[in-house]
């Protein structure tokens, strides 16, 4: 096992650090920047089905559902196809309206999640076209889909999903750009610039790991005794906030809630006092001015602010107690980049609390029961 951990103390840390490589592997053979092409046979062979779909329904659980939410932003923005994102367990039990004009995308790291599998079977019976995004090759979900893309992130051992999540985001980005180009919604110049930026994401992740690893480790020490956390983000980073909160609660057993930042004033603001740490994802591109006012509201109530900002940020940083810098990217890539320090934060808080990081209590790597 020590050999498999490659010198890291836990699989989770190894998997966090593997992300430059795993994201690269997800794109390998698919993203051909010099030729200006995204090659994905699963999409290309059925491209008219996607193009003519009434809507795309994304079905998943847990972290994969968070990836699906970001997929909704991506596909709607770039391909202009309506997207709905459903918890598999809710979808399957509510007699959903599905037709043969719908495309259903299932996202599952393990490819064995019982609720996702059952929801897919239901959609298939109703004639929808089923597309799978799985990490485990030849898994049950991969086998029943009509087409799909493997994430190729490599085996994920830590129960808390890290590299599988960023690989799912990478696939969803490729799908959105490919469909957008085909639909004519994404012009050539923008397409070329976005794919060049995507190609460089592994490099950006490496920079983030190097720049933030030790700093986040230090920050974590201050929150070992904390009992509650709020995670806030807007737009693409709202699901990233949900995912950050899920990571923390899964492995550290600290109660954490993710929220769209603007929803704070509709309830969670009542929780804010000097004992409430708030992680806020505040990149320059993506409603920055609005985030600034959210931070002011938190500051006025003495909340402890841990801000994830772009390098060189001033406004949010000046009001924050802790500042974690990530490189500036187009908005659609910011959840991939911002997720990395949040994974590290959850990891180190859990380690300092003496928790079993790779095998948290009550959780299984794949949930094969309903
Ligand atoms: C992630 O950290 C969790 N352990 C969990 O939410 C997981 O994402 C969920 O059970 C779905 O699993 P799947 O991707 O294998 O379908």
Q: Is the pLDDT of residue 1 over 80?
A: no
Q: Is the pLDDT of residue 220 over 80?
A: yes
Confidence band of 6 (pLDDT split at 50, 70, 90):
confident
Q: Is the pLDDT of residue 353 over 90?
A: yes
Would you call 365 a catalytic residue per the annotation?
yes
Q: From atom 9 of ligand 1, which residue's Cα is the shortest distance away?
A: 62
pTM: 0.97
Question: For residue 340, what pLDDT is reported?
Answer: 98
Q: Which of 21, 124, 284, 365 is catalytic?
A: 365
Question: For residue 313, what pLDDT is reported?
Answer: 97
Separation of CA 160 and ligand 1 centre (Å) = 8
Which atom belonging to ligand 1 lies closest to the Cα atom of 116?
16
Q: From atom 4 of ligand 1, which residue's Cα is the shortest distance away?
A: 160
Separation of CA 188 and ligand 1 centre (Å) = 36
- Which residues are within 8 A (CB) of 56 and not within 5 positions of it... i.e. 6 or more apart? 50, 75, 81, 82, 83, 84, 102, 103, 104, 105
Question: What is the per-residue pLDDT across 98-151, written as a single tens digit (0 to 9) for each?
Answer: 999 999 999 999 999 999 999 999 999 999 999 999 999 999 999 999 999 999
CA dihedral for 85, 91, 96, 99, sign (positive or negative): positive
Phi/psi at 289 (5° precision): -60, -35
3-state secondary structure of 143: helix
Question: What is the per-residue pLDDT across 174-217, written as a single tens digit (0 to 9) for each?
Answer: 999 999 999 999 999 999 999 999 999 999 999 999 999 999 99
Which atom belonging to ligand 1 lies closest to the Cα atom of 141?
16
Tell the residue number behind the tokens 């490589």, with chain if given: 21
The ipTM is: 0.98
pLDDT (mean) for 219-223? 98
Question: For residue 370, what pLDDT is reported?
Answer: 80
Q: From atom 10 of ligand 1, which residue's Cα is the shortest distance away?
A: 62
Question: For residue 60, what pLDDT is reported?
Answer: 98
Q: Is the pLDDT of residue 2 over 90?
A: no
Question: For residue 241, what pLDDT is reported?
Answer: 98
Q: Which residue out of 15, 61, 140 has the highest number of ligand 1 atoms within 8 Å of its CB and is therefore the one to mutate?
A: 61
- Which residues are within 8 A (CB) of 359 and not within 5 positions of it... i.e. 6 or more apart? 159
Q: Using a 6 Å cutoff on CB, does residue 244 contact ligand 1?
A: no
> CA-to-CA distance for 167 and 185, rounded, in angstroms?
24
Q: Which residue out of 12, 16, 60, 64 has the highest number of ligand 1 atoms within 8 Å of its CB and is therefore the one to mutate?
A: 64
pLDDT (mean) for 356-368? 90
% of the chain at pLDDT higher than 90: 94
User: CA triplet 104, 107, 110: central angle to 5 degrees?
Assistant: 140
> CA-to-CA distance for 250 and 229, rounded, in angstroms?
13
Question: For residue 32, what pLDDT is reported?
Answer: 97
Query: For the residues of 107-138, what is the DSSP string, one character each?
Result: EESSS--HHHHHHHHHHHHTT-EEEEEESSTT
Question: For residue 367, what pLDDT is reported?
Answer: 87
Question: For residue 22, what pLDDT is reported?
Answer: 98
Question: For residue 150, what pLDDT is reported?
Answer: 98
Q: Is the pLDDT of residue 3 over 90?
A: no
pLDDT (mean) for 228-251? 97
Q: Is the pLDDT of residue 242 over 80?
A: yes
Tell me which residue of 109, 206, 205 sits closest to 152, measured CA to CA.
Answer: 109
């Amino acid at each position: 096992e020590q050999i498999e951990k490659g010198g890291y103390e836990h699989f989770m840390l190894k998997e966090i650090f593997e992300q430059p490589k795993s994201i690269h592997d997800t794109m390998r053979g698919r993203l051909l920047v010099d030729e200006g092409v995204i090659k994905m046979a699963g999409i290309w062979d059925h491209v008219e089905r996607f193009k003519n779909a009434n809507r795309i329904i994304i079905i998943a659980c847990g972290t994969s559902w968070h990836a699906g939410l970001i997929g909704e932003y991506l596909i709607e923005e770039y391909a202009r196809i309506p997207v709905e994102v459903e918890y598999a367990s809710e979808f399957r039990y509510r007699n959903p309206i599905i037709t043969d004009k719908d495309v259903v995308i299932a996202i599952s790291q393990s490819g064995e999640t019982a609720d996702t599998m059952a929801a897919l079977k239901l959609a298939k019976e109703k004639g929808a076209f089923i597309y799978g995004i799985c990490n485990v090759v030849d898994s049950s979900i991969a086998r029943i889909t009509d087409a799909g893309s493997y994430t190729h992130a490599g085996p994920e051992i830590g129960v808390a999903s890290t590299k599988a999540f960023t690989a799912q985001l990478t696939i969803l980005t490729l799908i959105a750009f490919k469909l957008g180009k085909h639909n004519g919604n994404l012009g050539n110049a923008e397409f070329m610039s976005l794919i060049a930026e995507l190609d460089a994401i592994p490099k950006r992740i490496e920079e983030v790991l190097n720049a933030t690893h030790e700093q986040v480790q230090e920050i974590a020490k201050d929150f070992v005794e904390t009992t509650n956390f709020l995670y806030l983000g807007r737009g693409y980073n709202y699901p990233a906030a949900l995912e950050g909160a899920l990571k923390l609660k899964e492995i550290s057993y600290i109660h954490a809630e993710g929220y769209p930042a603007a929803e704070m004033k509709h309830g969670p603001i009542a929780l804010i006092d000097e004992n409430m740490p708030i992680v806020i994802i505040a990149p320059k591109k993506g409603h920055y001015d609005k985030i600034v006012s959210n931070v002011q509201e938190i500051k006025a109530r003495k909340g402890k602010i841990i801000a994830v900002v772009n390098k060189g940020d001033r406004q949010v940083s000046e009001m924050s107690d802790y500042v974690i810098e990530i490189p500036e990217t187009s908005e659609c890539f910011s959840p991939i980049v911002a997720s990395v320090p949040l994974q590290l934060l959850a990891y180190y808080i859990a380690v300092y609390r003496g928790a079993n990081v790779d095998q948290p209590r009550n959780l299984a790597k794949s949930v094969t029961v309903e």
